[in-house]
Structure 1
Amino acid sequence: MQPLRCWLLLLLVTFIGIEAKSAPEGCFRAAVLDHVHQTDARHLSNTAKIIDLNFKVYEDAAALAKKQGADIIVFPENGLIYSILSREKADEFASDIPDAEVNACTLDSKFVYNRLACLAQKHQMFVVADLIDRKSCEELGINNVSDSCPADKKFLFNTAVLFDRQGKLLGRYHKMHLFGEISMNPPPKPELLVIDTELGRLGMQICFDMIFKTPGYLLAQENKFDTMLFPTWWFDESPMLSSSQYQMAWAFGNNVTLLASNIHRIEVGSRGSGIYVGPHRTLAAALYDDSVERLVLANVPIKPKETDQSACPLDSEIIEVPQQIPIPKSVKYHHQNLNLKDVTLLQLSSNESEVHLCHKGVCCQFEYRLAMKDQPQESWVDRVPLLANMLHYLTPEERYYLLIANRTRPGAYPWSEEFCAVVVCPSSRWNFGKMQKDCSKIGSNQELSSRFVHAKLRGKFSEDTAVYPINVPNEPEYFIELGAKDNSESRAMELGALVLYGRNYNRDPRYEQKALPINL
């Protein structure tokens, strides 16, 4: 029997659909695209050509989604153009997007904004996509000579748009927290957008916004929306900020539904799109180390907090989507690692079953039971008692640590975080004949040799800290548990990471847009 694999609290629910689906009453069927950028080395500077290549994939994905009964499809951030590294290129791609518009499809179809409206109208489904909105300082009521007006007298916004089944623009949202993206501007004022539709109350945020209090967390705490629409281009960081892992944690922790469409470029650590029904603790996610385009579909309750799961079964499926330019199979997945500055580490041992650790007011407790290898002859153990400790499934090549922190995160974009995490450092490093004791590489895509049958991580955090993924109401303690402590027949598990990740939004430094050295 293959061991149960428990990676970063992530469960993959994958079914292959054969016949068209339709959502039960009180539900709708959602689709999100895990999108591989379509690029042609001969036309990298040709914006129109790149847009056409990617839009053809959008059209194919929408047609497939409709055949599977989808009511809405979400496309990713920055999905139609390969990269936007200059102000001039951003302006070339930009449209003047209104607040709302009745007949967006009737306008000039050569513009991407209008083509998306026609796509929605053609397939009679809601469409969410990411574009660039252009607005002059004058349109926004900002003086052209004020410090808040850009030098070229206009704002370029990373923008999510929502069209209904008739191609009507229902709303637009301007990304508040730009991840670098120096060619674009954050909005002058915070945007908290919620749109009432036949699919329920829909909110929108884009990628890096998910890290911060506004808009998503604030709206969720005020119970303003049912489903969050989330175009993203996420860059994975192990062990607690990988895309599907954090998407699931955010949806479950905030008790909301999340429709997340991500760029799939494994060479820069981007992968993982999914549908997460927080109130039901169910999900459908695509998480692959290849370069294949995929569509994720599942049923979603219109009012998730008021609808029983039995009345709205997930009924999920993942379908491959044709690409215009296939990506070489030789491309390998690469992710970033957690910066361990101001993080306390405690290495686990086969000799123990419980460890405790406190740091700057945060306290962590990890209880664990290791699986046993096949026992040797009893006389061997009697003769060499210490050998019994070596029979556990905790190998020297895979060192496990309990990590704890209460810090302002280092880097260009600091934020306040508190966490308890159990992680594996899969490969020992040798330097000048000595084994390195640090944990410079966290997590692994390879099969692990160590085995656990029970793992329970508890944490106590600051009173005003939001803890993902599990929030226990009216309790000062948070926990996540895998396996059974006292069940001798529990299945052996590989454990990549077990995490309680806390965000203290009230202690965050003020957000300031900064350049980032990202090679896209």
Structure 2
Amino acid sequence: QLMMGIHELRLSCVLLILVIVGPQSGLQHSLPTDPTYNAGVVEFIPPPGEGQPKAKDGLRRVKNIIESNLTSGLDILVFPEYVLNDYSLLTYVPDPALNIAPCDVPNYDFILTELSCAARARQIYLVIHVKEKVYCANDPLPVGHCNVSGINTYSANVVFDRQGRVISRYRKTNLFRYEWYSVNVMPQPQLATFTTDFGVTFGHFIGADFLFWQPAQRLVAELGITDIIYAAHWFNELPFLTAVQLQEGWSFANDVNLLAADASEPSGQISGSGIYAGRLGRLKAVIYEEPTTQLLTAKVPKHAYRQSYQAPPLPTPELVLQVP
């Protein structure tokens, strides 16, 4: 009886600890009342090849990052443009108004299904770029004629919430060079936004959109968005169009937080990612001479709490372990 009493006492203590602190595997999320949120952007080496092998390789590496310890505690994670599928393996994207979690719907393409499940498992907001397809019969809006295949193609950002639901989608407006041959655009630029459980509303866009009034400046000037997500495959060009230079300048000029994720192909003049806090300055930024996959993280100050925010010291170069 004495041993049983000791056992019951130990069990009661364990249960009490679990009630008070929760399971150790639980992830701490930022709250609407917190002065900052935890953000990550990924400079990412695009996978080689094309079609399904390319998509599977890119997806495997994307999931490795999402599932790694480095993302523990992040509220939101952003990947660049052109890191998954190409135009030979398009994917459908559900209407965000339906709040569908592809993780629960097996008839969606494996790309969306696995990303949805990964976001849910990690309890993180996930922003990633895909090549989207839409049947012409279901898509009367785009500029230009339908492809002979009967399918319209879009360059799109997809946003998953912590439950793996698609809550926002943005279709690129300002196409770059060869994209005009294979990608549709909407007749009116979309102003894509979503609101998070940590009290921040984000706007998002892609690539060359950065240089135009619509949608980039309209999100800030007309909707008053203070936090912007930017997925890019940016071609650096001197003297005024290098990635980090442009990102930091745009964030400073508009005094908005900017989460910018770029692909990493320095041989093609493509590199440069960062997290910026408007007039408070750069929080993290990188640009590489060699192909590099790197996760950058920062505590980003919310605009409502800026008066009490103390900016970190200016960043200095440091050797950071890369994500495998």
TM-align CA RMSD: 2.8
In the alignment, structure 1 residue 206 sits paired with structure 2 residue 210: no
CA deviation after TM superposition for structure 1 residue 55, in Å: 1.5
Task: Tell me which amino acid in the other structure corresponds to 2:43.
Answer: D
Fraction of identical pairs, as percent:
26
Taking structure 1 as the reference length, the TM-score comes to 0.51
CA deviation after TM superposition for structure 1 residue 282, in Å: 3.0
Residues 309, 133 of structure 1: CA spacing in aligned structure 2 closer, same or farther, 3 A cutoff? farther
Secondary structure of the residue aligned to 2:309 is: helix
Taking structure 2 as the reference length, the TM-score comes to 0.80
In the alignment, structure 1 residue 240 sits paired with structure 2 residue 240: yes
- Find the counterpart in structure 2 of residue 33 from structure 1: 42
8 Å Cα contact 1:34-1:271 kept in structure 2: yes
- Find the counterpart in structure 1 of residue 176 from structure 2: 179
CA deviation after TM superposition for structure 1 residue 308, in Å: 2.9
Distance in 2, Cα, partners of 1:37 & 1:225? 30
8 Å Cα contact 1:119-1:167 kept in structure 2: yes
Deviation per CA, 1:166-214: give whole Å up to 9, x if none: 1011110000011121221112322012212224111010010001001
Matched length: 289
CA deviation after TM superposition for structure 1 residue 307, in Å: 2.2
Task: Tell me which amino acid in the other structure corresponds to 2:157.
Answer: A
The correspondence of residues 323-342 of structure 1 with structure 2, limited to 5 A, is: 323=324
Distance in 2, Cα, partners of 1:156 & 1:141? 13
Tell me which of 103, 106, 111 is aligned to 2:104: 106
Residues 151, 23 of structure 1: CA spacing in aligned structure 2 closer, same or farther, 3 A cutoff? same
Deviation per CA, 1:252-284: give whole Å up to 9, x if none: 111111111100000000111110111422331
CA deviation after TM superposition for structure 1 residue 23, in Å: 6.3
- Find the counterpart in structure 2 of residue 266 from structure 1: 266
4+ aligned runs moved over 6 Å, structure 1: 20-24, 314-318
Residues 155, 320 of structure 1: CA spacing in aligned structure 2 closer, same or farther, 3 A cutoff? farther
Task: Tell me which amino acid in the other structure corresponds to 2:140.
Answer: G
8 Å Cα contact 2:257-2:275 kept in structure 1: yes
Secondary structure of the residue aligned to 2:138 is: coil
- Structure with larger RCO (C-alpha < 8 A, sep 6+): 2
8 Å Cα contact 1:295-1:319 kept in structure 2: no
- Find the counterpart in structure 1 of residue 255 from structure 2: 255
CA deviation after TM superposition for structure 1 residue 306, in Å: 4.3
Deviation per CA, 1:59-85: give whole Å up to 9, x if none: 22213365442111101101114xx4x
Distance in 2, Cα, partners of 1:139 & 1:110? 18
8 Å Cα contact 1:78-1:130 kept in structure 2: yes
Residues 312, 139 of structure 1: CA spacing in aligned structure 2 closer, same or farther, 3 A cutoff? farther
8 Å Cα contact 1:142-1:149 kept in structure 2: no
- Find the counterpart in structure 2 of residue 457 from structure 1: none
Secondary structure of the residue aligned to 2:89 is: helix
Task: Tell me which amino acid in the other structure corresponds to 1:178.
Answer: L
CA deviation after TM superposition for structure 1 residue 150, in Å: 4.1
- Find the counterpart in structure 2 of residue 329 from structure 1: none
Task: Tell me which amino acid in the other structure corresponds to 1:308.
Answer: Q
- Find the counterpart in structure 2 of residue 189 from structure 1: 188
8 Å Cα contact 1:37-1:264 kept in structure 2: yes
- Find the counterpart in structure 2 of residue 79 from structure 1: 83
Residues 115, 104 of structure 1: CA spacing in aligned structure 2 closer, same or farther, 3 A cutoff? same
Distance in 1, Cα, partners of 2:69 & 2:201? 22
- Find the counterpart in structure 2 of residue 132 from structure 1: 131
Residues 247, 164 of structure 1: CA spacing in aligned structure 2 closer, same or farther, 3 A cutoff? same
The correspondence of residues 443-458 of structure 1 with structure 2, limited to 5 A, is: none
Task: Tell me which amino acid in the other structure corresponds to 1:70.
Answer: L
CA deviation after TM superposition for structure 1 residue 231, in Å: 0.8
In the alignment, structure 1 residue 289 sits paired with structure 2 residue 289: yes
CA deviation after TM superposition for structure 1 residue 105, in Å: 1.3
Unaligned runs of 5+ in 1: 1-19, 85-89, 324-520
Distance in 2, Cα, partners of 1:21 & 1:280? 26
The correspondence of residues 377-456 of structure 1 with structure 2, limited to 5 A, is: none
Larger relative helix fraction: 2
Q: Which has the larger radius of gyration?
A: 1
CA deviation after TM superposition for structure 1 residue 99, in Å: 2.7
Tell me which of 142, 164, 169 is aligned to 2:166: 169
Residues 91, 135 of structure 1: CA spacing in aligned structure 2 closer, same or farther, 3 A cutoff? farther
Distance in 1, Cα, partners of 2:101 & 2:68? 25
In the alignment, structure 1 residue 156 sits paired with structure 2 residue 153: yes
- Find the counterpart in structure 2 of residue 56 from structure 1: 60
8 Å Cα contact 2:38-2:74 kept in structure 1: yes
Distance in 1, Cα, partners of 2:225 & 2:63? 28
Residues 309, 35 of structure 1: CA spacing in aligned structure 2 closer, same or farther, 3 A cutoff? farther
CA deviation after TM superposition for structure 1 residue 286, in Å: 1.4
CA deviation after TM superposition for structure 1 residue 142, in Å: 5.2
Larger relative strand fraction: 1
Distance in 2, Cα, partners of 1:318 & 1:35? 17
